[in-house]
Amino acid sequence: MRDNQLLLLRPAITIDLDKQSLDIENFQNQTLRPILKFQNELILDLVLNHINKNEIPVKEKDKELFIKKNFQKNLVLKNQLLGLTIGLFSKMEFTFYLENKTEVNKRISQLIIKRIQDQV
């Protein structure tokens, strides 16, 4: 029941499913991207709560580096953002996550950093 409710919450996203992909890529596209889209508002609020808006550089390259470094150095923020994502996994997705934890965490981090850089 919980799994079905979680899956129904996720927004639909357009993905090219014609290509043959690795399991981890499929997981990224079918699970991570919809969850991050669904959680977008909370992700931005959480990041802006941890980062002083006035410190964010104006230049695009400097801003990207600033956000990436803050994400990597601030373990509390990083873990909270991972929790916002992992908490919406179905039972089967969580099992996949436990088997591929390092790679999934890496992909979650990369997707979140990119999402924040594009919107802040």
Range of the domain at 89: 2-12+31-119
Q: From the CB of residue 88, how many other CB atoms can be counted at a distance below 10 Å?
A: 20
Residues above pLDDT 90, as percent of the chain? 57
**23 assigned to some structural domain:** no
**Shortest CA distance to 4 belongs to which of 101, 108, 93?**
93
**Using one digit for the tens of pLDDT, what is the confidence trace for 54-89?**
788 888 888 889 889 888 899 999 999 999 999 999
Q: Report the Cα 7 to chain-centroid distance in Å.
A: 16
**17 assigned to some structural domain:** no
**19 assigned to some structural domain:** no
Rounded average pLDDT over 15-23: 69
**83 assigned to some structural domain:** yes
**24 assigned to some structural domain:** no
**20 assigned to some structural domain:** no
Q: Which residue has the tokens 């550089």?
A: 57
Residues shown for the chain:
120
Q: How far apart are CA 13 and CA 10, in angstroms?
A: 9
Reported as a pLDDT band with limits 50, 70 and 90, residue 33 is: very high
How many domains does the chain divide into?
Answer: 1
**114 assigned to some structural domain:** yes
